[in-house]
Amino acid sequence: MTNPAEGSRRNQGRRGWLHARADATLADVSPPRPPPPGPARGPRLLVLGGAGQLGWDLARLCGPETTSLRRKDLDIRDAGAVRAMVAAWADHQPPGSSLVIVNAAAWTDVDAAEAEEEAAGAVNVTGAANLAGATEAAGATLIHVSTDYVFAGDEVRPYDVADRPGPVCAYGRTKLAGEEAVRSLTPRHYVVRTSWVYGAAGHNFVKTIARLERERETLRVVDDQRGSPTWSRDLAAGLVALASSGVPYGLYHLAGAGDTTWWGLARAVFEELGADPARVLPCTTSELSLKAPRPAYSVLSDRAWHNVGLSPLPHWRDALAGAFAVDGEALRP
């Protein structure tokens, strides 16, 4: 069983996306329709990646103060369009309210990124830089979502925000470079790393296991990669709390509490489906021919998040039960 929740080329020298900046002209960008002015009621969210797992849950969770854009509405690789869109939204904030951009858009196919690192970087680095530059120009705030795959995976205790990253795959490299671009372009940023995301929208490991439960008598799933499954709805709720918290800008980790392996998660999915978890057999990563290496251990410590008074996410096993209760139809094939 592969890890389908997320998808090495060696260093290729100067990559275009490493030097990307949000400095394109604003020419031939059609003016976006601004949000209607309304009473000031705290931050207004502009979400990128609205069709993805997290973006979809942000849209579901938030009220009319949130605008959710899909790739067809705004391609974050287009610096001019990004800057025009963010500027228009910032200009039309009602007095007293602030604009928070949430970057939930990303190239998330971990295996495909190995062969297409430039293309992955165009979204994960250039796109992030475009949003950060536009955020800075507009005086807004950026919440940028990143990943546990920035770590090498050779730790034996949860990774803290102070730990040194060392990505082992192209996806992780692009996400780390995206973080660095955000940090360098605007001080008004929250970079939030999360892990093993699943939800009602899009493709994910939980949906894949639910489908395979119907198709196969037994499954083999890797038991030597450990992380924290995160329900996208819980993550969305955490980011909404962050947006209005006023806590210091900077780097945070936020994922489901507790940890398990992909095998453990697959067994739990079987339990939620009323199927026998003994049908899920453990295997090692080396038995599979994955294109991208993965960190063997990528559990994230939410110490920094907790220290500023924000609530941790529920335990991953409770969250999975909640996800099947709320989104069962979408998670089952």
Ligand X SMILES: NC(=O)c1ccc[n+]([C@@H]2O[C@H](COP(=O)([O-])OP(=O)(O)OC[C@H]3O[C@@H](n4cnc5c(N)ncnc54)[C@H](OP(=O)(O)O)[C@@H]3O)[C@@H](O)[C@H]2O)c1
* Interface with ligand X (CB under 6 A): 5-6, 48-49, 51-55, 71, 75-77, 104-108, 123, 127, 145, 147-148, 175, 194-197, 202
Residue whose CB is nearest to ligand X in the complex, by number? 52
For residues 93 and 103, which CB has a smaller minimum distance to ligand X in the complex?
Answer: 103
H/E element holding 79?
Answer: helix 79-91
Min CB(203)–ligand X separation in Å: 7
CB atoms within 10 A of CB 39: 9
For residues 202 and 256, which CB has a smaller minimum distance to ligand X in the complex?
Answer: 202
Residues facing 235 on adjacent strands? none
CA torsion sign, 264 to 269 to 274 to 279? negative
For residues 112 and 279, which CB has a smaller minimum distance to ligand X in the complex?
Answer: 112
Which of the residues 159, 171, 190, 252 is marked catalytic? 171
Q: Give the integer Cα–Cα distance in Å for 198 and 204.
A: 5
Residues in the chain: 333
Active site residue 190: no
What DSSP character marks residue 94?
Answer: P
Instruction: Give the 3-state secondary structure of residue 26.
Output: coil
Min CB(121)–ligand X separation in Å: 11
Min CB(23)–ligand X separation in Å: 18
Min CB(38)–ligand X separation in Å: 26
Q: Give the integer Cα–Cα distance in Å for 278 and 165.
A: 36
Nearest to 31 by CA among 102, 81, 69: 81
For residues 229 and 314, which CB has a smaller minimum distance to ligand X in the complex?
Answer: 229
For residues 52 and 314, which CB has a smaller minimum distance to ligand X in the complex?
Answer: 52
Min CB(274)–ligand X separation in Å: 25
Q: How far is CA 291 from the centre of its chain?
A: 21
For residues 93 and 208, which CB has a smaller minimum distance to ligand X in the complex?
Answer: 208
Query: What amino acid is encoded at 116 in this protein?
Result: E
Min CB(275)–ligand X separation in Å: 23
Burial category of 37 from C-beta neighbours within 10 Å (exposed 0-12, middle 13-18, buried 19 and up):
exposed
b or e along 212-229 (b: 16 or more beta carbons within 10 Å of the residue's beta carbon)? bbeeeeebbbbbbbbbbb
Active site residues: 171
